[in-house]
Amino acid sequence: MKKRHQETVDILYRLTPIIHPQDVLDNARAGERWIVRVNGWLADHIVAFVGTMICAYLFAALALISLPHAIQSHDSIIIVAWIAQTFIQLVLLPVIIVAQNRQTERDRVKDEVDHKATRHLYEVNEEQLQLLRKIAGDKNG
């Protein structure tokens, strides 16, 4: 009986290849043009740098260089334009959008992998049920 159980376990192991999400991502990236990979790599690294306190301090230093001129103008439009163009429009907004797009693509790929894994698990479950029915039939027969 123990040998038969081991045979069943061996069959199930052969029928259940593991799908790793990183393999799917690597395969998807392999089909991309080199410039797309370089741009994605660059965007990832820019976002990684922008998301640090060191970058926050550098932005603060940059702001302090031109802030006195904006304040001395006593013009609220110039001050608002300085804030919007220096931090949001020129630096952070495009980088954040690229990062969000890449995250969306990662989520799509992961969802696809999850779907394939779920479908695969369903198929394995069906095969296991067939094996169990066969074992149960052998016991009854």
* Tens digits of residue pLDDT in 26-50: 766 677 788 888 888 898 888 777 7
Mean pLDDT of 93-121: 82
Count of the separate structural domains present in the chain:
1
pLDDT of 2 reads 58
**Burial classification of residue 107, based on how many CB atoms lie within 10 Å of its CB (0-12 exposed, 13-18 middle, 19 or more buried):** exposed
Residue 27's domain comprises 21-133
Are 82 and 70 spatial neighbours (Cβ–Cβ below 8 Å)? yes
Mean pLDDT of 91-120: 81
pLDDT of 133 reads 83
Mean pLDDT of 90-95: 64
Task: Enter the pTM of the model.
Answer: 0.41
Residue 140 lies in a domain: no
Whole-number Å distance between alpha carbons of 102 and 119: 26
Residue 14 lies in a domain: no
Residue owning tokens 């410039």: 35
Averaged pLDDT score across all residues of the chain: 77
Residue 138 lies in a domain: no
pLDDT-derived band at 116 (thresholds 50, 70, 90) equals confident
Mean pLDDT of 67-88: 86
Residue 8 lies in a domain: no
